[in-house]
Every structure is written in structure tokens, then in C-alpha cells.
Amino acid sequence: MAPPPIPQRIPPLTWRQPAVVWTPIALAAAIGWPAGLFYNDPSLQQLAVTAGAAVFALALATLGVSWAIRRPPRTRRTAVMHVIVAGAVASLAAPFVLTDLLSALADYSHSPAAAAFSLPMAMAMLPLAVVLGLPVALISAIAFAWIALKRQAPPDPSEASFYHSDVQPFR
């Protein structure tokens, strides 16, 4: 039996069936595990869940766009990269959002500490946010990709018509 011709098509990933069951399980595992680290502090749990939900909302939107333009991810690495990029954006934005919120709260309560929350404070927190945010995004992305997505079986190499109609070696 001859090996499949070059280029061999890699089938895209699909949602594990039934998707109505597996996708929420994957999202709960990926978003929920960081909240488990803060079991003694409910406010930090709420912050972790909110940040994880924002990251996965952005990542699932970009994955949806890639499926809509007919370029679905072919490997789990691609799906993980969507989540990591969304996590990087959220990590970079988090200090600025936090200082703006704290400044607005201090202004609302007429506190003299309102001037303390500024751009230099956000810039000082930026490396810490990235160092903490990216590993969490990576672990969450891997958990999501392995639970929610699965590989399709490659096409049968005996179907010669499949390969002959698609072989374009010099693109």
C-alpha cells in the first residue's frame, strides 16, 4: 500500500460530542481551577473567575471567527495559542483597569487617596500581572483544549479521489 501523497491534509479539530455537555465541563475546569487557589478569599475567587471568563470569551470569539472564515484549528496548539493571546491581552490590560477602578472608587468616597492610583502604579504592576497571568492562561488553555476538542480521523488513504482533487504542491 502506497503512503498518502504530499501534501497530506490534516483534518481540523472538532468539538467533543455532545458539545452541550463537554464544552461547559471544559470551561468550568479551565476557568474554575484558579479560583480554587483562593479558597480562603471569596473576593479573589470572584476576580479569578471574572478574569478567566473574560479571557475565554475573547478566545472563543477568535476561535469562532477562525471557524467562520473556514480556517478551523487543526491542532490543539492552535487552540491553546488563541487562549494564550487572549490571556496576554487580559494580563496587559488588568493593571490599568484595576487602577482606574480603584481611582474611581476613591473619588466616589471622597478619599484623599484618589491621586495615588495613577499610570505609574499601573506600570509597576504590569510585570507581575504578566508573570502571574500567562502561566494561568497556559494551564487553562491546555485543560480546555484537551477536554473540549478532539481530533478527527484522517481521511482514508485508499480514497485516491480525495487526494488527487486537492494536490497543489507549489502554492
- In whole angstroms, how far apart are CA 53 and each of 16, 97, 160? 21, 16, 45
Q: How confident is the model at residue 6 (pLDDT cuts 50, 70, 90)?
A: very low
In a domain, 164, yes or no: no
In a domain, 74, yes or no: yes
In a domain, 84, yes or no: yes
In a domain, 32, yes or no: yes
Question: Nine-digit cell at 122?
Answer: 499601573
In a domain, 168, yes or no: no
In a domain, 132, yes or no: yes
In a domain, 73, yes or no: yes
- In whole angstroms, how far apart are CA 84 and each of 50, 61, 122? 16, 13, 21
Which residues are 37's β-sheet partners?
A: none
The pTM score is 0.78
In a domain, 167, yes or no: no
What domain count does the chain have? 1
Strand (E) positions, 52-159? 149-150
Q: How confident is the model at residue 76 (pLDDT cuts 50, 70, 90)?
A: very high
**Parallel, antiparallel, or unpaired for β 149-150 and 14-15?**
antiparallel
Of the candidates 103, 86, 95, the residue with the CA atom closest to the CA atom of residue 137 = 86
Whole-angstrom distance, CA of residue 157 vs CA of residue 4: 6
Q: How confident is the model at residue 106 (pLDDT cuts 50, 70, 90)?
A: confident
Q: Which domain holds residue 121?
A: 15-149
Average pLDDT, the chain: 84
Which residues are 122's β-sheet partners?
A: none
Residue showing cell 494561568: 136
Q: What is the pLDDT of residues 47-58, one digit of tens each?
A: 899 999 999 999
